Every structure is written in structure tokens, then in C-alpha cells.
Copies of this chain bind each other. A is one copy, B any other.
């Protein structure tokens, strides 16, 4: 581990420059203390003592870094990702420390779906903001699982804080009120946010697109950023199932998978009983 000091120097520099970085350290098993420094935009540095272990830990820690999450992961000596050999062979425990803010999910609309979506997003490590203009609905009591509940129209939020949003973040517009959803979508489009989902039936979606066109949304590249109707086509009905379909779409969109979204289908979203 002769290069540990320079590895820490690079870590220090990256933290100071606010660049997301992960430090992986073997805390149990062979090579205790061995380190790997990872970053989304460059090759990893250091080694845990096995190239395949390095490769797997790099992959996993980049995902942890995207979620802004730290914790201990367990591997086989060659990076096996589930402890199939835990009884018969050595296990390597790796502390993955992420130096990055948690990704954000901004939910516009304090409706029945909002609490379910906030709950599932919290499991994924998101910082969740709920925003609605109606103060009787946007209350901490209704959304105890959210990190922040705001009573506001959408535009001021995007004007003041839109710069916080980047490719790892998501905006979901769950209200069907044109007074609220049109500015929420237009606001989200001014940011670099990686996912914009808009809830509604295909009929609602068609009417909303008319209003968005009137509001100035005509660029096909911009329109392509809207995932609407929101969510993967898994037949979700309850708020909780819908939350799963939305989070699955957020993941698929970020990883570039072509798993069918409701947006790319046709017909009613809910099948008839």
C-alpha cells in the first residue's frame, strides 16, 4: 500500500472540489486496510488485492456513490457478490464510503401517491422534497417520511433551487391540476435533472401536452425528456405499486435500459376488471 498517502491526497482534492468520490477499504478478511479510490469519471486507483474483486467493488461502489450512500458490503475473494461461499471460504468485508450528496427526488403534488413514492424513494437513498401550493395538503404530518415539505407554487422552487438538480436527480409531477403541473414541468425542463415523470391517464396526458405546447414546449428533445404517463408498464394499481413502477423507471432511465415505459405504449393504463 505504498501509494496510500497519494491516494488520500487525491481524495482530499476531490472532496474539496466537490467531485463525487468513493473510498473502499477492506475491513475484514485478507488484505485488511487495502484501499480502492473510485470516481464516476476516471479509472479507479489502488487495489483490494484481486483484479476481479477490484472490478466488482468498483461497479458496486459507483452505484453506492450515485445514491450517496456508505456501508459495508460482503464479497467472495474474487468479488462474488453474494456470500455463496461464506461457510467454506474467506469472505472479504469492504467498507464503501461515499463522498457525495444523496440524489434528490422532488415530488410536485401532495396527493395519495406522494406518500407511497416518498417511502420507496427513501429506501433507494433519495432526499425527498414534497411541494404543493395547497397548505392543507402539503403538511409534515401527511408526509413524515419526506425530508422537506414545501408550500409553494412550482416556479419559485425551480428559480431558487433548480441549479441543485443534476442527472442523478428526479422530478415527479403527480398533481393533475393544470395550474400546477404545467409550471412544474416547464420548471423541471429548465434544469439538468435526469428524470421528469408526469402522472395522468393518456387522456390527461394528451390535454396536458396541448397546454405545454401553448406554454412554449415545442423542442422534440425537450418533449423526449418527459416520461408521461409515468412509470413502467407493470399493471400497477395501488399508490404503492405505482411507486414501484416509477422508481423502476427512474433506475431504467438512468442506466439506459429500454424496459417498456407506459409512455411508449398505448391504450388504457389500467386494464378493465
Contact = CB atoms under 8 A, between A and B. Distances in A.
B238 A248 contact: no
Contact of A175 (B64, B82, B120, B255): B82
A251 B236 contact: yes
Contact of A237 (B59, B83, B236, B273): B59
Contacts of A247: 244
A204 to B, nearest CB: 8
* Most chain B Cβ neighbours within 10 Å, of A73, A123, A255, A257: A123
B248 A82 contact: no
Interface size class of A (residues with CB under 8 A): 35 or more
Interface string A101-139: 000000001011100100110011100000000100100
B248 A234 contact: yes
Contacts of A175: 82, 84
A270 interface: yes
A142 to B, nearest CB: 12
A111 B134 contact: no
Contact of A235 (B245, B254, B273): B254
Interface in A142-188: 174-177
Nearest 6 pairs of A and B residues by beta carbon: A235-B255, A84-B176, A63-B237, A234-B252, A248-B248, A235-B257
The complex is assembled from copies of this chain, and their number is: 2
A243 B251 CA distance: 12
20 contacts: A59-B273, A60-B237, A62-B273, A63-B238, A67-B238, A82-B112, A82-B199, A86-B137, A87-B134, A87-B177, A119-B123, A232-B252, A233-B257, A234-B251, A235-B252, A235-B256, A237-B255, A244-B247, A244-B248, A244-B251
Contact of A124 (B86, B177, B244, B260): B244
Contacts of A64: 238
A74 interface: yes
Nearest to A56: B270
Interface string A51-62: 000010011101
Interface string A252-267: 1011110110000000
Contacts of A60: 237-238
* Most chain B Cβ neighbours within 10 Å, of A109, A174, A175, A248: A248
Contacts of A232: 232, 234, 248, 252, 259
Contact of A234 (B55, B86, B255): B255
Contacts of A116: 123
